[in-house]
Amino acid sequence: MAHVTLTGNLHQLTGGVAELEIEAASVRQLIDRLGAAYPDLAPQLAAGMAVAIDGQIYQDALFQEIGPGSDVHILPPIAGG
């Protein structure tokens, strides 16, 4: 299971849950499972969030793999270029 941390104000959409353990093999699967567990969070996730997996930040990470025991942070979108 991956250890997932929701940063910023995302925990307000999960009833105060900011950290959880969840089984997911990819970011897409993680987002689907988080959205199913926390319907108020789903629109934020669908709008696009950056994801850090074991310290590496990904902007377009839907197909990025998540290993068992990975540390995953869901981050607000990162602007710039």
Here the tokens at position 65 are 């793999």
Please count the structural domains in the chain. 1
pLDDT higher than threshold 80 for residue 76: no
Here the CATH number for the domain that contains residue 48 is: 3.10.20.30
pTM: 0.86
* Residue 37 lies inside a defined structural domain of this protein: yes
Residue 58 CB neighbours (<10 A): 15
Tokens 């068992």 -> residue: 68
Amino acid identity at 16: G
> Token digits for 40?
């108020």
Structural domain that includes position 54: 2-75
Q: Using CA atoms, how far apart are residues 80 and 17, in angstroms rounded to an integer?
A: 29
Which token pair is 69? 């025991």
Q: Is 18 part of a structural domain of the chain?
A: yes
Question: Could you report the per-residue pLDDT of 28-70, keeping only the tens digit for each?
Answer: 999 999 999 999 999 988 888 889 999 999 877 788 999 989 9
Question: Which residue carries 């009833």 as its tokens?
Answer: 15
